Amino acid sequence: MDFDLILVDDDPAYLQLHEVLVKKSGFHNQPILIDSGKKAIEYLEQEVDSDRTILLFLDIYMKDIDGWDVLDFIESYGLPEKIKVMLVSSSVDLSDKRKALKYNTVIEYIEKPLVLPYLERLKELAIF
């Protein structure tokens, strides 16, 4: 299946690392990089009526609008078949993991950083 991959993180080092790993693993050749929750919402507002399937690798704790607010925005559109989210966070707090499971669009919670073997496995599983 053809899909858009969006990497959302306000830390430029993680954003760059994750872009390199996503490409190196062959998981996606042209990820879209977004450096804030606000910009992620603005991008998604433009894409809601598109036919494209979207997978977000979304950081939770960002300075302007956090990942929870982005998830609330996505859920408000009720499009879990079109937009899927993998939370990628440095938080190891169990309450964050529990909260993430309450969202219909969240399919995974991953602790930072992404690693090459994990992305290679995702590619093999063909989740998208």
DSSP 14-73: HHHHHHHHHHHHTS-SSPEEE-SHHHHHHHHHHHTTSS-EEEEEE-S--SSS-HHHHHHH
Encode burial over 90-122: b for 16+ CB neighbours within 10 A, e otherwise. Answer: ebeeeebeebbeebbbbeebeebebeeeebeeb
12: pLDDT strictly greater than 80 = yes
pLDDT tens figures, 27-86? 999 999 999 999 999 999 888 788 889 999 999 999 989 999 999 999 998 776 789 999
Per-chain mean pLDDT for the chain: 92
Q: Any idea which fold 3-125 has?
A: Rossmann fold (3.40.50)
User: What share of the chain has pLDDT > 70, as a percent?
Assistant: 95
pTM above 0.85, yes or no: yes
